[in-house]
Amino acid sequence: MKITGKIDIIDLALKIDNILIFADFHVGYEEALNKQGILVPRFQFQDTMDRLDKVFESVKGEVGTIIINGDLKHEFGTISETEWRQALKIFDYLAERCKNIILIKGNHDTVLGPIAEKRNLEIAEFVVIDDVLVCHGHKIDKDLEEAIENKNIKTIIIGHEHPAVSLREAVRSEKVKCYLLGKYKKKTLVVQPSFNLVTEGTDIARERLLSPFLKQDLSNFNVFVVSDKVYEFGMIKDLE
pLDDT tens-place string over residues 15-25: 999 999 999 99
Give the confidence band of 78 by pLDDT, cuts at 50, 70, 90: confident
Reduced to 3 states (helix: H, G, I; strand: E, B; else coil), residue 230 is: strand
- The pLDDT assigned to 29 comes to 66
What does the alpha-carbon distance between residue 73 and residue 108 come to, in Å, rounded to a whole number?
6
Highest mean pLDDT among 51-55, 202-206, 235-239: 51-55
The whole-number pLDDT of residue 174 equals 86
- What is the H or E stretch that residue 90 is in? helix 81-95
- Number of domains the chain contains: 1
CB-side neighbour CA atoms (13 Å) of 58: 19
CA–CA dist 34, 6 (Å, integer):
41
Angstrom distance (rounded) from CA 192 to CA 195: 9
Give me the domain span that covers residue 123.
2-238
Of 135, 239, 108, 103, the residue nearest 178 (C-alpha): 239
Any idea what the CATH number is for the domain that residue 171 is in? 3.60.21
Please report the pLDDT score of residue 35 as a whole number. Answer: 67
Average pLDDT over residues 196-203: 89
CA distances from 65 to 97, 101, 103 (A): 9, 6, 11
Indicate the pTM of the whole model: 0.93
> Is residue 34 very low, low, confident or very high in pLDDT (cuts 50, 70, 90)?
low
Name which of 63-67, 178-182, 205-209 the model is least confident about. Answer: 205-209
